[in-house]
Structure 1
Amino acid sequence: MKHVVLSCALAATVFSSLHAQRHKPVNPAPAKDTTHLPPVPAPRQGPKPYKDVVTAKAVTHKGLFTVHQVDDKWYFELPDSMFNRDIMAITRYSKTPGGGGVYGGELVNQQTIEWEKGPANTVFMRVITLVNMADSTSSIYKAVTNSNLNPIAAAFDIKAVSADSAGVVIDVTDFFKGDNQAVSLSPNAKRRLNVSALSSDRSYIDYIHTYPINTEVKTVKTFSATASAGFSLFGPSQPPLPAASAIGAITMELNTSFILLPKQPMQRRFADARVGFFADDYTVYGDDQQKVQNQVFIVRWRLEPKPEDVARWEKGELVEPQKPIVYYIDPATPKQWRKYLVQGVNDWQQAFEKAGFKNAVMAKEWPDSAGMSTEDARFSMIRYFASDIENAYGPNVHDPRSGEIIESHIGWYHNVMKLVHDWYMIQAAAVDPAARKMKFDDELMGQLIRFVSSHEIGHTLGLRHNWGSSSTIPVEMLRNKAWLDVHGHTPSIMDYARFNYVAQPEDHIPQADLFPHIGEYDRWAIQWGYTSTHTATPEADRKIVNRWIVDSLAANPRLWFGAETHPTDARSQNEDLGDDAMKASAYGIKNLQRILAQLPVWTSEEADTYTNLKDMYTQLTGQFSRYMGHVLKNVGGINETPKSVEQGGNVYEPTPKAKQKEAVAFLNKQLFETPFWLLDKNVLNKFSNPADAERVAAIQTNTLKGLLSAARINSMLTGSERFGVAQTYTAAEMLDDAKKGVWSELSSKKPVEMYRRNLQKAYIAALVELAKTDADNSDFVIVLGRSGAAGSNTNAASSDASSLARAQLAALRTEINAAMPGFTDKMTRYHLQDIADRIKKALDPSH
């Protein structure tokens, strides 16, 4: 009552004051212009009756989310049971603008989201960023949750309460029509395509379909786009899009799949560096810890027996899984290649039998069933892209809580066929007549497709590249038919050990043994990753699977895994074969020489203007360059063999001294002595202008720079200190051996031909750079990983590398001056005098 009296009194006072002012002569205030002010938002209204929102006009479909369409409005009806559940939101391109380097079916975004009831009749969509975790029963759980708040990606008014009062209805129209990052392009994708604002008048929802465990949303979005090159982390990534140049906009179709994740995550299996699986991780906190634990766990499919087969499965009998891994072949795939893609998938069935499951993985052609969509993330696909990219890739989408793979869409670019053609011709044509033409027969191309299919499927099963696998095979066994019939030329199809380039024509190796196949490492890795230990916790599981690794590697060294991330280990290389790069490369060079001699004939096609010859010569010199790289990695190499404490021996050991010394001798003989066989004038004069950059000279120079780099020499200096000079090839020995090879004319007195003169100048430039004593003389290596960039400075000026380089230069200048009178060739004398002057200036810049 007091409030009412006070209010009345206040009103009376104000009225009296205003009444008194009427008698004062005042100028009236100008009227306020409200034309450009934003409209005042209408007051928020609470939920309406269900029938007023989901009207009789509604078209309703029930599924993961019940979806209602009322005229041009779309509503989700969310049951209370759906709140606070983990849901994957997977967004893919459905259709894309031409020239963008992205294709319908490719992943553009993925998030884990959850619905949450907010205050004032709202529903929030949160994006879950899983970084840290704690058991909800522990005391530290509250501290973890206080420091890991998930962002709210969107807020929705509750339009109505469900008819049964067990859920709510929200309007999702504007959310999906708009540019909301959780279900649209990521910032990186926008930068790559150089797009900016969404044009809402040219964007709309095409459809929303819902199914028992997923809901699919197809949208059409138009963005403003600039007609200039897009950018990525490393700079310009692609030319401007034709549509952007034409009208300043691009239109694309996106499909977002919402998939409900299991309420109870699959039990994790901890990753191990001795078996090559992709992995995820998060930090775990617990009350009983004395240090924080970062748990890294492998990515794999959930394979479980049918309930009626559990007892048989636990006894070790083969059973079929409740839910097999099925890949569908994109209906856009040319028909003649489909069966080979299917075979590449089905080849993995043998591996899963080692893990206790039959018919665990298979491929099927896409059925013409109503209600199925190739964008539906319930279905794993091999998507076929009309693209000139020479590649294929095998990703997967997994539950970040456990590593359980949810689905995979393999990307298959049409022009991967050119890639495998060129590989096979250059690596196998010396021994396989079928490889000696520019268009292979369908059966050969089909088998090449099958091999690539198996490799990419391996990735989607969780397997990483095993670049060390082929190093476990003695080189001479690669020429042995009996060995190859049983073991193949590499134990793993996940290696980059393309084709058997070591085999010689006289070995009579059949075509099947030139191909990689799913091997003993692959079968073992699947067995390790997918066999159940029937334990209750990941910690108990780890003890058992560790024992599997220790026992298996002791019994069969061919099961060794060599990661892509061993930068100094010569055993872990891509595109190589065998346990000795020098022997394997020597055999490979013999075959390249045979192929080059026939290349003009094998590449000939009617009306071709030597484009084929140029392309294949480029491939051949590229293969030669790879051989040089394989050999070079031995010099200063450090072998890295991950071990657990149950295994004997060291993790780090130097590449054997004799092998390192042999590598430098090989480079001196095969490369630094000019490989004139590669400079066949009958070939080069058909397509190569002498004014163009010379490929052979570039290979020589780049390899020499790599040999004399500060990083390699500092590694050798440190290795000698760690392992002892008796066990290592020292940097001083390497520099002496390289000098003898590159400057052999000083003792032989042969004229120095042009390629050698250029190489010797490159040698001096590399040593002069190494000899600098300023702080800027360093190699800086960037290594990108999950946690960002790690830098490694190898500063020659602050190590013995610069001292060694200066000593080498001084000794070389003395040798040049002593040898110069013995040369009569003018260009050789001019060259040597120039070199002597360069060295003098480098060692004493004041003169």
Structure 2
Amino acid sequence: MIQRIPAKSFYFCALLIPVMIGEVGCAKIMKGSKYKTIAADTVKKTNGDTKSYGDLLKNAKTEDGLFKVHQVKSDYYFEIPLKYMGKDMLLVNKISSVPLAINEAGLNKGMNYENKVIQFSYNKDAGTIWVKTNVPQVESPAGDAITRSVNDNFTGSVIETFKVESYNSDSSAVVIKVNKVFDGTEKSFNDVFSNIGLGTSPKTSLSSIEHIKSFQRNLVVRSLLSTTVTEGQTSMPVSIAVTTNLLLLPEKPMTPRFADDRVGFFTTPRWYFSDDQHQMERRNLITRWNLEPRPEDRERYKKGELVEPAKPIVFYIDPATPPKWRSYIIAGVHDWQAAFERAGFKNAIIAKEVTDTANFDIDDVNYSVVTYAASPKSNAMGPSVVDPRSGEIIESDVIWWHNVMTSVQTWMRVQTGIIDTGARANRLSDERMGNAIRFVSSHEIGHTLGLKHNMGASMSFPVDSLRSPYFTKRMGGTASSIMDYARFNYVAQPGDRVENITPLIGEYDKYAIAWGYRWLGADNPHAELPQLKSWIKEKENNPLYRYGEQQDPKNVIDPRSQSEDIGDNAVLASQYGLKNLKRLVPQITNWAAKDGDSYYDAGKLYMAVINQWSTYADHVISNIGGCYLENPVAGDKKNAYTPVPLNLQLQALNYVQSEIMTMPEWLFNPTLLKKTFPIQDSPMGPFEYGPYNVRRAYQYSLIYSLLSDERLLRMLEMELLFGKENVLTVAQLLKITRGTVFKPTVAGRNLTITERMLQQNYVDALLVSTDKLLAKVAKKSLQEVESIKAIQSPFACDYGIEKLTSSKNVNEDSLRNIFVTSMSRTSDVAVEKRGELLRIKELLEKYKNVGDESTKGHYLDLIMRINQSLKLM
């Protein structure tokens, strides 16, 4: 559930999680190359040091499948039929087991970290097998002249070579020894420690192949790879079990479907060349499963009857999943059946428990699995393995971290505890937790179907409608898409009698699945474009079907597409949310600390309330200097960029003045603070935060965000485009804010500690951002690499609930943005910020001798800070 790998697939939520999915577009023989596919009847035993088949494999244990796999003691051999030379195969590398340190870093069983398409080729002269890889991103018609150039300019690269050890009895297959690419000797097939960020190499003496299994379409190799990680003076051994699948890709790729920016699918890139072009055609292919009706059902399907797909999507529940949660996870999978019915398929997606664990291999790419990870990490993700030639999803996995339940429980408690008595306790009932798990399951399965986050879905529901029992029951959930981060209904008030407070699969989800999966029977993706565009045109003016791309949470541009918000007006929704938080704070100890209990859980709940207060403020601030983003096409009468209406920006600024500039006293309840400070867990144990520190840190963070260069630069852009009378200008923002911050100074009275804190925060935010803005461009140094870093994936959803110590790792390249920062030091932002500091200095000079000693000392300190920053001393 939910934050995009540049599709990371990657997201980032294209769904091509392969960090480096390489490929070979078509099996082509390169002109002048030393390697080519040799027919079985032409193979000659040219290498004198090959052994006879019988001698080499004497006493071998043999498994038959895609290739025969022979084990002779600790040596492993592949017997590769020559018919597979030049065929596209996908290498899929996954984590199978990890030690404690890796677990704590968020790397767990089931995570896919490196994929690439390879081809085996026979080098006759050298008596070797070569392996090459490339990126299957280019296509051109076989008969076009330009195809010659395509073949020469997009060639594969050789990554490995194997000596031919022997030939089978009829010379239709070669035998090669494969230990080196799986036991850590070579990194060509599997470079796990580089891909997870450790930057080390396996120690071959401590690494080995554990087993190799051969199936009809794939091979599964499990290895234990060991290394040592050194940090400072400390060295730590790390052993990771990894599984490599070698999968034969379909001879004929699935017919791809072209992406459209108005429907949120993960994508993989495709370039098209032809003789008839004036320029290369760039397309993105959506990632999706290959669903189509059986040949005998196609006429019924075209008439609108629901039919079962020839090959349904099947997910297996990890046998390690606690039994009481399995039915809820399965229900979350099956909830998507209604969406696939919109695409014309019934029983298109199924979830099953594993009944025969003896024959079940969770790492086999023939199985899509909801993998349960015993980990302190509170998160979930839904990556997929994709055929990059077509966008076909071959296999998907949901990685389910055990502690995701802690985040879900905290959200339910803080956001709905006031209206739902069952959500108040330290431990929810299994039924309530199970229903929350069902919602998380549905969201993550959505990613495995190819859907990205739709952060604009919550905007489709009017705020006051979220207080209506009739509306929420009819529409279901908190947004038009479960792919939003619209957690639970924090808008509903006591007495509203709203019961539907949990996210559900919505209208957008059903529409998106129909758009991506309805079978059209075309062999050419270009032929589908008129139909695909017409489906979007039918819905383009209905807010229920709007797609809002995920944005960097630290730099939100379009406030309609935010994380964690609900409703179409952030100011009004946040005001309702604050009313419920105000009711909750006095109840914290009653809910979280029963007789004989410590106040640890109460302190954690208290911190969660403060985080929720801060989240509401973030939602509101994003409207100031915000810009509505669309993906218009000719004829739809939409604009690509529209500033947030001036009246809404002013409403948001009023909220900032009343709720941030003067932080609410109810949030720092004296009775509560006598029992516990806000508590946040950390790797070093629980941290207790003093209320003054919390006030200062949260207020400063929000003010700094309000004055960010990116926000002010966007405000300048909108002023230039739409005129200062239609937008909130930078000058107006600073003037209004200054008036609020220094109101008690102008009144000539003594300042309280919180009033001094506000002025310090405002001035310091201006000072720090101005210093950065005017700093000379310096040579950038390489960032220090963390000793242990989890794989970054577009599918990793953000279930984190911590603010002070958490750092959301967002791949900004994969998120929509407006580039406004080039040469910002020469923009009016620098002028406005320095001018604001000079105006504040003038004001302080006037009142520096007014007030008590603390007040006067405070003014003198601010004057000195400004003088130092602007070099006025």
* Distance in 2 separating the partners of 1:693 and 1:139: 73
* Distance in 1 separating the partners of 2:817 and 2:420: 45
1 or 2, which has the higher helix percentage? 1
> Greater CA deviation, 464-473 or 737-746?
737-746
Of 117, 127, 152, which aligns to 1:112? 117
Q: Secondary structure at the match of 2:399?
A: strand
Q: Secondary structure at the match of 1:514?
A: coil
* Distance in 1 separating the partners of 2:596 and 2:122: 70
Of 514, 531, 534, which aligns to 1:527? 514
**Cα–Cα, structure 1 residues 58 and 818, in superposed 2: closer, same or farther, change >3 Å?**
closer
* Distance in 2 separating the partners of 1:690 and 1:138: 69
Contact 1:769 1:777 in 2 (8 A): no
Which amino acid in 2 is paired with 1:562? G
Query: 2:600 matched to 1:611?
Result: yes
**1:565 aligned residue:** 551
Deviation at 1:634, TM superposition (A): 0.6
Q: Secondary structure at the match of 1:506?
A: coil
> Greater CA deviation, 621-630 or 302-311?
302-311
Contact 2:340 2:510 in 1 (8 A): yes
Query: 2:229 matched to 1:226?
Result: yes
Query: 2:475 matched to 1:473?
Result: no
Which amino acid in 2 is paired with 1:215? L
**2:405 aligned residue:** 417
Contact 2:227 2:239 in 1 (8 A): no
**Cα–Cα, structure 1 residues 778 and 801, in superposed 2: closer, same or farther, change >3 Å?**
farther
**Cα–Cα, structure 1 residues 774 and 352, in superposed 2: closer, same or farther, change >3 Å?**
closer
Which amino acid in 1 is paired with 2:187? Q
Q: What does 1:58-457 align with in structure 2 at a 5 Å threshold?
A: 58-101=60-103, 102-119=107-124, 120-189=126-195, 191-192=197-198, 195-200=200-205, 202-221=206-225, 223-228=226-231, 245=236, 249-368=237-356, 370-457=358-445
TM-score of the aligned structures, taking structure 1 as reference length: 0.87
Which amino acid in 2 is paired with 1:160? S
Q: Secondary structure at the match of 2:470?
A: helix
Contact 1:778 1:795 in 2 (8 A): no
**2:854 aligned residue:** 827
**1:500 aligned residue:** 489
Deviation at 1:784, TM superposition (A): 3.7
Which amino acid in 1 is paired with 2:855? T
Of 550, 553, 578, which aligns to 2:540? 553
**Cα–Cα, structure 1 residues 827 and 175, in superposed 2: closer, same or farther, change >3 Å?**
closer
Deviation at 1:687, TM superposition (A): 3.2
Superposed CA deviations along residues 439-498 of structure 1, whole A, max 9, x for unmatched, are 111000101111100000000000001111101211111101111111132001100010
* Distance in 2 separating the partners of 1:703 and 1:94: 42
**1:634 aligned residue:** 623
Deviation at 1:815, TM superposition (A): 4.7
**Cα–Cα, structure 1 residues 785 and 809, in superposed 2: closer, same or farther, change >3 Å?**
closer
Contact 2:668 2:691 in 1 (8 A): no
Deviation at 1:839, TM superposition (A): 5.0
* Distance in 2 separating the partners of 1:213 and 1:770: 57
Q: Secondary structure at the match of 1:196?
A: coil
Superposed CA deviations along residues 709-740 of structure 1, whole A, max 9, x for unmatched, are 22222221121001222221111111122122
* Distance in 1 separating the partners of 2:600 and 2:389: 52
Which amino acid in 2 is paired with 1:561? Y
Contact 1:777 1:795 in 2 (8 A): no
**2:645 aligned residue:** 656
Contact 2:181 2:188 in 1 (8 A): no
* Distance in 2 separating the partners of 1:335 and 1:306: 35
Alpha-carbon RMSD across the aligned residues, in angstroms, is 2.8
Contact 2:386 2:393 in 1 (8 A): yes
* Distance in 1 separating the partners of 2:62 and 2:770: 77
Contact 1:124 1:156 in 2 (8 A): yes
Q: Secondary structure at the match of 1:226?
A: strand
* Distance in 1 separating the partners of 2:417 and 2:514: 36
Deviation at 1:550, TM superposition (A): 1.5
**1:805 aligned residue:** 833
**Cα–Cα, structure 1 residues 73 and 199, in superposed 2: closer, same or farther, change >3 Å?**
closer
* Distance in 2 separating the partners of 1:323 and 1:408: 15
Deviation at 1:799, TM superposition (A): 1.9
* Distance in 1 separating the partners of 2:347 and 2:608: 40
Identity of counterpart residues, as a percentage? Answer: 35
Which amino acid in 2 is paired with 1:737? I
> Greater CA deviation, 396-405 or 559-568?
559-568
Contact 1:108 1:185 in 2 (8 A): no
**1:665 aligned residue:** 654
Q: Secondary structure at the match of 2:100?
A: coil
Choose between structure 1 and 2 for higher RCO, CA contacts under 8 A separated by at least 6 residues: 2
Deviation at 1:841, TM superposition (A): 6.4
In structure 2, runs of 5+ residues without a counterpart are: 1-45, 678-687, 781-808
**Cα–Cα, structure 1 residues 471 and 506, in superposed 2: closer, same or farther, change >3 Å?**
same
* Distance in 1 separating the partners of 2:380 and 2:519: 31
Deviation at 1:787, TM superposition (A): 12
**Cα–Cα, structure 1 residues 157 and 664, in superposed 2: closer, same or farther, change >3 Å?**
same
Deviation at 1:147, TM superposition (A): 2.4
**Cα–Cα, structure 1 residues 123 and 770, in superposed 2: closer, same or farther, change >3 Å?**
closer
* Distance in 2 separating the partners of 1:371 and 1:185: 28
Contact 1:772 1:802 in 2 (8 A): no
Contact 2:621 2:652 in 1 (8 A): yes
**Cα–Cα, structure 1 residues 783 and 451, in superposed 2: closer, same or farther, change >3 Å?**
closer
**1:33 aligned residue:** none
Which amino acid in 2 is paired with 1:360? A
**2:821 aligned residue:** 793
Which amino acid in 2 is paired with 1:527? A
> Greater CA deviation, 785-794 or 436-445?
785-794
Query: 2:468 matched to 1:462?
Result: no
Deviation at 1:809, TM superposition (A): 3.8
* Distance in 2 separating the partners of 1:592 and 1:717: 36
Deviation at 1:187, TM superposition (A): 4.8
**Cα–Cα, structure 1 residues 594 and 176, in superposed 2: closer, same or farther, change >3 Å?**
same
Contact 1:127 1:182 in 2 (8 A): no
Deviation at 1:292, TM superposition (A): 2.0
Deviation at 1:827, TM superposition (A): 3.0
**Cα–Cα, structure 1 residues 749 and 590, in superposed 2: closer, same or farther, change >3 Å?**
farther
Deviation at 1:67, TM superposition (A): 2.1
**1:683 aligned residue:** 672
Deviation at 1:749, TM superposition (A): 5.0
Q: What does 1:708-727 align with in structure 2 at a 5 Å threshold?
A: 708-727=707-726
* Distance in 1 separating the partners of 2:818 and 2:62: 53
**1:21 aligned residue:** none
Contact 2:112 2:383 in 1 (8 A): no
* Distance in 1 separating the partners of 2:283 and 2:169: 45
**2:26 aligned residue:** none
> For the pair shown, which has the larger CA radius of gyration, 1 or 2?
1
* Distance in 2 separating the partners of 1:683 and 1:531: 56
- How many aligned residue pairs are there? 781
Contact 1:138 1:286 in 2 (8 A): yes
Q: Secondary structure at the match of 2:175?
A: strand
Query: 2:751 matched to 1:752?
Result: yes
Deviation at 1:684, TM superposition (A): 2.3
> Greater CA deviation, 90-99 or 831-840?
831-840
